[in-house]
Chain A
Amino acid sequence: MSDPKQSPEEFVFLLARHERLIGAYVMTMVPNPTDADDILQDAKVVMWRNFSQFQPGSNFAAWARKVAFHQVLAFRKRKHRDRLDFSDEFLNTIAEEMETSAPHLEKRERALNDCMAKLPGDHREVVLLRYHQGLELEEMASRLKRTTTALYRLLSRVRHVLHGCVSETLKTSDYDYAS
């Protein structure tokens, strides 16, 4: 029997399955979207290059997180330090937290879609403008004819509501997608 391990199909499959969570993992440590995108791209290239070292059958998500974590550290070394950067201790603590709660976070992510669908139209609109179109609050303010303060509060509220909805979903129902 030929050795079917570590085929590119396998890489494609595993990456496709875990990419979103890896992206979220990076953004939790590096909230700036542009920086996070750069890091994720680097991490994907490193994973691709080193896929032969991935132990088939072991936990791909955990392996990918490890690679991504190193890319976060490498990025920080390269980048000019900002006084608002988190400390290394903070990053290590967060990484550890995300490692132990990975299955929990995955469940939360799955429940989010339904909660999004329950949002009232105006809430969904600000999510789309902010997250899909990537608009800054000032641009949103002029488009929606509202103040930036009002939009700041609204976005905060939407995230609070979604967080509460996801927690509630996981607590009260046998949440389950039919696919």
Chain B
Amino acid sequence: MTMPPKGSEIEREVFALCDEILDGKISEENNARLEALVLTNPEARRAYVEYMQLSAALRQTSAGLASGALEDVLQPFPESGSKRTSVLPWVWKIAAAFVLGTGIPSALWLNRENSHVATLVEVSGARWETCVFATEVGAKVRPGNVRLAEGLARFSFRNGVDVTLEGPAELEVQGVNQCWLKNGALVAHVPPSGKGFVVQTDYAKLTDLGTEFGIRTDRSGDCAVHVLNGTVELQHVSGAGSVRLSTGQLASINAREILKLERTEGESTLPSSVEGDVGRIRSFTHEITTTNGGGAAAYVSSPGTKLHFSDTLLLLKNARVSGFLRKVLLRFDLSSIGGRSLESARLTLNFDRTGFGFASLNQDAQFAVYGITNDALDGWDPGTVSWENMPAHSERGGEVDVTQATRVGTFVLPRGVVRGSYYIEGDAIARYLQQDVNQLVTLVIVCESEGAVPASVVYGIAGNNHPTLPPPTLRLRITQ
């Protein structure tokens, strides 16, 4: 990260003027100059917005915006003319806490029986990756993220809308009347009671006007809609037009526009990424866990940790204290790959509740996975490895010695969440595994987000001795 700043001259000038606003004292002339640039030049406009938002985000990532004493303002109007008469007092307290910026543990309100927005009514061959609710039929679905690796899952929303998610897919359930399809496909059946149901994607907003439709999107944000029966309204998020589609009609949406396609019979021709997968048979999938071959799993605790250990969970914690910090070490034996080349790699970790510390004292927690680059350090013994003698040791709870390790991925557990399956994948981890020479790799997992107080939560990942959850697993796509 030492390259000199690039960018056009206009961009550089706008950034310099923004710097004066942010850290200095901008002169009247320069203020006028900035205004003129932004008003007349689209590039300057974009540069200004991006730079100022970055600065704002830095402040919020570090602190969170101020919280004033607003309780007085909030309390006088709990039922003023609205339909909120049946609301329980706890809801008001919690909502007030949020408006006040003091925050509350999400588990407090999300777990309430009456806060669910849908029910999981049917699953078929479903394998879940990440899910904020129990994945058995009948489970109450609360707002949050769902990743379905494969199979089908059907949700019945409280307003009668029926949504079937087709894996692989990622869906964010946002409320009783709205969801955000981030990836994959779904089919929705919307009865009259659910009219107005919205499915959002990166570039499109689909509002149902009483119908049945299919929608599919991929990571690029491109999206396709097929109305099976009835009518939907499709809007481009940039405001670049909207169309109404009726039975049998299709449309595709990209970053720029909506393209309405002609009526088709039968099978839809969605520009699906799945099409590209057909015929790719020159690779296979292989799974390796920390129990295979020379694999191992362990955690280390910082000096002064006298309590709270586990035989089944690998503990992880970072906080503003010196004791009670923990990091996780995993070793995978790659000899079964036999030097073949990797197309992709995914590391899956199964979190479970430790019962140590309070989840409400943490914000969203970001975890980083590092790969040890020095092969000589792969020989650690899970029985004797310690905070000081571990590979790539660093005194800091959220860091490792980066001269001996490379960062291969990160993931985030939202505030209040301590269970579920999480994974990292991508080029970084595949490249790291591919470069290994001695057929053993050591991964170190740290929690980068620092709990503000010593009593913040201890996270736990199922290790090699967990009674029910699978151990840390590498899923590799190997080219023949």
Contact = CB atoms under 8 A, between A and B. Distances in A.
Interface of A: 1, 3-17, 19-20, 23-25, 27-28, 31, 33-34, 36-38, 40-41, 44-45, 48-49, 51-52, 56-59, 83-84, 86-87, 89-90, 93-94, 97-103, 105, 108-109, 112-114, 116-120, 123, 127-128, 130-132, 134, 137, 152, 155-157, 159-166, 173-174, 176-179
A44 B63 CA distance: 18
B411 interface: yes
Contacts of A177: 410-412
Interface stretch (B169-177, B245-253, B294-302, B433-441): B169-177
Contact of A137 (B23, B49, B73, B98): B23
B57 A20 contact: yes
B453 interface: no
13 contacts: A1-B193, A20-B60, A31-B22, A37-B65, A56-B178, A84-B28, A131-B61, A137-B23, A159-B22, A178-B423, A179-B130, A179-B412, A179-B422
Contacts of B375: none
Contact of A9 (B46, B57, B115): B115
A152 B19 contact: yes
A33 B59 contact: yes
A111 to B, nearest CB: 10
B196 A163 contact: no
Nearest to A128: B62
Contacts of B426: 173-174, 176
Contact of B91 (A8, A84, A87): A8
A94 B34 CA distance: 12
A117 B409 contact: no
A159 B109 contact: no
B168 interface: no
Contact of B54 (A103, A112, A113, A123): A112
Contacts of A12: 94-95, 98, 109
B1 to A, nearest CB: 5
A57 B178 contact: yes
Contact of B23 (A38, A109, A117, A152): A152
A108 B410 CA distance: 16
B175 A56 contact: yes
B80 to A, nearest CB: 8
B70 A45 contact: yes
Given A1-B158, A14-B175, A173-B426, A179 B1 contact: no
B137 interface: no
Nearest to B12: A160
A178 B53 contact: no
A114 to B, nearest CB: 6
B57 A109 contact: yes
B477 interface: no
A58 B5 contact: no
Contacts of A25: 53
A130 B198 CA distance: 41
A4 B130 contact: no
Contact of B39 (A1, A8, A90): A90
A28 B1 contact: no
A94 B45 contact: yes
Contacts of A156: 15-16, 19, 23
A38 B414 CA distance: 27
A92 B59 CA distance: 24
Rank and list the top 8 A-B pairs by shortest CB-CB distance, nearest first: A132-B62, A160-B5, A27-B56, A24-B56, A178-B411, A57-B198, A37-B66, A57-B177
Interface of B: 1, 3, 5-7, 15-16, 19, 21-24, 26, 28, 31, 35, 38-39, 45-46, 48-63, 65-68, 70, 73-74, 77, 80-84, 87, 91-92, 94-95, 98-99, 101, 106, 109, 112, 115, 117, 130, 143, 145, 158-160, 174-178, 193, 196-198, 200, 202-203, 205, 207, 219, 221, 237-239, 366, 368, 407, 409-414, 422-427, 448
B6 A159 contact: no
Contacts of A59: 200, 205
A164 B70 contact: no
B77 A49 contact: yes
Contact of B53 (A33, A103, A105, A128): A105
Contacts of A176: 219, 426
B5 A28 contact: no
Contacts of B1: 118-120, 123, 161, 165
Contact of B368 (A27, A100, A117): A117
B6 A13 contact: no
B130 A131 contact: no
Given A52-B83, A134-B63, A174-B426, A4 B117 contact: yes
A105 B297 CA distance: 39
A155 to B, nearest CB: 6
Contacts of B51: 159, 163
B171 to A, nearest CB: 13
A18 to B, nearest CB: 11
A105 B203 contact: no
A122 B6 CA distance: 21
Contacts of A173: 426-427
Contacts of B202: 103
A112 B52 contact: no
Contact of B21 (A31, A48, A134): A31
Nearest to A165: B1
Contact of A102 (B60, B193, B237, B427): B237
A6 B82 CA distance: 10
B99 A48 contact: yes
Contacts of B15: 156, 159-160, 163
A119 B399 CA distance: 13
A8 B413 contact: no
B175 A13 contact: yes
Nearest to A106: B202
Contacts of B62: 127-128, 131-132
